[in-house]
């Protein structure tokens, strides 16, 4: 599965890969707990808690709290405004905090090949505690899921890829251009009601300072509580 995810991510990444770049890697575990649903009529919301363990799954690498309210423009399109708070613990130093405002367009594109194809476009405005500048970043995800048994959503095969592009550079280290790409392979399992859990492997390729590259191999579990 890891080889397949790398092969999906590599063509999108090669154009941005600098020559003779140093590459480092890490094994991580990410957990995502998301509550989502309708507030009233077309008004909807989601709220997320995401701890991410790094350094060989030995310590907390990031803690992300994110929420948004949205308006359903149609049965297939929803527009959100949200906010996220990210804590990045540093050993022996003060934690780095990041604040994000974001706008998101979620769109169900269709049902090709017996599955469902969807898009998520997110524009972020980012501030960090170790700098003064604001970063603009654009994220685009394409997601496809397909039932393993026709007519049943109990178990779906799931694949998605999300590309990140920084639109400007900042004094705290954001560099304009390609930022990272994430590729996921796994399964979506149906729970009681409309809730689901997603389990699988996520590959994250990050373009770092000085032309270096970081590759994270992530065991990913996401629980979505829908009402």
Judge contact between 45 and 34, C-beta under 8 A: no
Smallest Cα–Cα separation from 224: which of 180, 184, 194? 194
Question: For the purposes of burial, counting CB atoms within 10 Å of the CB of 214, is it exposed (0-12), middle (13-18) or buried (19 or more)?
Answer: middle
Rounded (5°) CA angle 213-52-96 = 75
Please give the pLDDT value at position 68: 98
Helix ranges (DSSP H) in 81-129: none
Q: What are phi and psi of 13, to 5 degrees?
A: -95, -30
Decide if 79 contacts 100 (C-beta within 8 A).
Answer: no
Phi, psi (rounded to 5 degrees) for 46: -145, 155
- For 173, the token pair is 């280290």
* pLDDT for res 10: 53
Give the DSSP H/E element, type plus range, for residue 4. Answer: helix 2-14
For position 9, what pLDDT does the model report?
Answer: 52
Q: Which are the contacts of 170, defined by CB distance < 8 A and separation ≥ 6?
A: 128, 131, 133, 134, 135
What residues in the chain have per-residue pLDDT under 50?
A: 1-2, 4-6, 8, 11, 14-16, 18-19
- Per-residue pLDDT tens digits for 172-183: 999 999 999 999
**Cα gap 112→131, rounded to integer Å:** 45
Query: What pLDDT, on a 0 to 100 scale, did the predictor assign at position 4?
Result: 44
The predicted structure's pLDDT at residue 5: 47
User: How confident is the model at residue 3, as a pLDDT?
Assistant: 52
pTM assigned to the model: 0.88
Options 3.40.1000, 3.40.50, 1.10.3470, 2.40.160; CATH for 2-226 is 2.40.160
DSSP E strands in 10-152: the ranges are 23-40, 43-54, 59-72, 77-90, 93-110, 116-128, 135-147
How far apart, in whole angstroms, are the C-alpha atoms of residue 117 and residue 110?
Answer: 6
Task: Give domain limits for the chain.
Answer: 2-226
């Amino acid at each position: 599965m890891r080889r397949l995810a790398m092969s999906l991510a590599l063509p999108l990444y090669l154009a941005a890969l600098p020559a003779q770049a140093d590459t480092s890697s890490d094994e991580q575990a990410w957990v995502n707990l998301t509550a989502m649903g309708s507030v009233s009529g077309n008004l909807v919301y989601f709220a997320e808690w995401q701890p991410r363990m790094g350094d060989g799954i030995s310590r907390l690498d990031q803690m992300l709290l994110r929420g948004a309210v949205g308006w359903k423009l149609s049965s297939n399109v929803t527009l959100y405004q949200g906010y996220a708070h990210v804590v990045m613990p540093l050993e022996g130093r003060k934690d780095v905090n990041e604040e994000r405002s974001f706008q998101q367009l979620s769109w169900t594109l269709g049902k090709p090949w017996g599955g469902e194809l969807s898009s998520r476009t997110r524009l972020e405005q980012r501030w960090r505690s170790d700098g003064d500048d604001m970063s603009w970043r654009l994220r685009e995800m394409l997601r496809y899921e397909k039932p393993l048994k026709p007519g049943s959503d109990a178990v779906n095969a799931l694949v998605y890829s999300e590309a990140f592009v920084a639109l400007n550079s900042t004094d705290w280290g954001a560099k304009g251009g390609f930022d990272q790409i994430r590729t996921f392979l796994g399964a979506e399992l149906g729970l009681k009601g409309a809730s689901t859990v997603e389990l699988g492997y996520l590959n994250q390729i990050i373009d770092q300072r000085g032309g270096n590259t970081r590759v994270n191999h992530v065991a990913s579990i996401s629980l979505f509580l829908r009402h």
